[in-house]
Amino acid sequence: GQQVMQIPQYQHVQEGEDFTTYCNSSTTLSNIQWYKQRPGGHPVFLIQLVKSGEVKKQKRLTFQFGEAKKNSSLHITATQTTDVGTYFCAGDTNAGKSTFGDGTTLTVKP
Amino acid sequence: DAMVIQNPRYQVTQFGKPVTLSCSQTLNHNVMYWYQQKSSQAPKLLFHYYDKDFNNEADTPDNFQSRRPNTSFCFLDIRSPGLGDAAMYLCATSRDSTEVDEQYFGPGTRLTVT
């Protein structure tokens, strides 16, 4: 079956440092979504990427979708303590459902 | 304004005692999903409804059932909860599933099995 792998599993950074999480699929994706889950909370949608090579930005967050549509990344510039949480990618290959990566848990030291 | 509502937020049940979790949505979305999320793990899709069509995941135990009586409501029934079923259960909706759209998650129900 489809596998979506995410690395790293954990990332500890000093406030102000950058952070990147990577998502890789074993199969070509029709789209990929990114979610953020705060400790004790539920996943909250951040963005969806659909086009090959697509890059989207949300303030300090930059999302990329690979040319082959099998990988994606989320980069946060100059992390803040409010960025803490687990970031999940979710890739869609089969119509009607998406497969979540295992998530990257970010902690930010003030 | 809450868009995906889950009740209760916390549920305690006894080993083997049937339990029902509920989800409602005000978005009028066609698709409703149930996920199981255990501590420090990704949400695991159990099943989803596209309108009235039920789609079960191959590895979802028979112990888990679902009902969707109308567009707004969806229920997760656990027939005989085991200790391993203790988890957060997340309901989500999306507008359409022919290509997965943004999913809106409810706050979840945390199930404890004693």
- Concatenate the DSSP letters of all residues of A1-48 into one string: ---EEEE-SEEEEETT--EEEEEEESS--SEEEEEEE-TTS--EEEEE
Closest CA to B54 of B39, B76, B36: B76
Rg of the Cα trace of chain B? 13
DSSP three-state, residue B84: helix
pLDDT at site A98? 81
Mean pLDDT value across chain B: 92
Q: Residues of A near B (CB-CB distance < 8 A)?
A: 30-31, 33, 35, 41-45, 48, 88, 90, 92, 95-103, 105
CA distance A110 to chain B (A): 23
Over range B56-79, report the average pLDDT. 95
Look at residue A48 and tell me whether its pLDDT is greater than 80: yes
**Per-residue pLDDT, B59:** 87
Across the interface, which of A88, A95, A96 has its CB nearest the CB of B42? A88
Task: Taking residues A4-24, report their average pLDDT.
Answer: 97
What pLDDT, on the 0 to 100 scale, is given for residue B98?
Answer: 59
Any A CB within 8 A of B99 CB? yes
Taking an 8 Å cut-off on Cβ atoms, the answer to whether B104 and A45 are in contact is yes
Most confidently modeled of A18-32, A84-98, B91-105? A18-32
Share of chain B above pLDDT 70, in %: 95
Q: What is the pLDDT of residue B67?
A: 97
Which has more pLDDT, A27 or A11?
A11
CA A98 vs. chain centroid, Å, equals: 14
Share of chain A above pLDDT 90, in %: 83
pLDDT band at A1 (very low <50, low <70, confident <90, very high): low
- The residue in chain B having the minimum alpha-carbon distance to the alpha carbon of residue A103 is B42
Beta strands (DSSP E) in chain B are 4-7, 10-13, 19-25, 31-37, 44-50, 53-56, 64-67, 73-78, 87-94, 104-105, 109-113
Residue A102 has pLDDT above 90, yes or no: yes
- Residue B103 touches chain A, beta carbons under 8 Å: yes
CA dihedral B32, B38, B40, B42 (to 10 degrees): -30
**Is A31 within 8 Å of B55 when comparing Cβ atoms?**
no
What chain B residue is nearest to A96 in terms of C-alpha separation?
B97
pLDDT at B96: 75
Mean pLDDT is lowest, of A32-46, A52-66, B16-30, B86-100, for B86-100
**Which of B95, B100, B101, B102 should be substituted to probe chain A, the one whose Cβ sees the most A Cβ atoms within 10 Å?**
B100
> B95 is written with which tokens?
């507008």
pLDDT at B97 over 80: no
- Under a CB-based contact definition with an 8 Å cutoff, are residues A89 and A32 in contact? yes
Interior angle at CA B92, CA A63 and CA A11, nearest 5: 40
Option in B33, B42, B108 nearest A102 (CB): B42
Give A-chain residues touching B107 at CB under 8 angstroms: 41-42
Could you report the per-residue pLDDT of B8-27, keeping only the tens digit for each?
Answer: 999 999 999 999 999 999 99
* In contact, B56 and B5? CB cutoff 8 Å: no
pLDDT of residue A92: 83
User: How confident is the model over A102-108, as a mean pLDDT?
Assistant: 97
Give me the residue label for tokens 């990427």: A49
Which positions ≥6 away from B88 have C-beta within 8 Å?
A: B36, B37, B38, B108, B109, B110, B111
Place of tokens 């789609």: B55
- Least CB-CB distance to B97: which of A31, A95, A103? A95
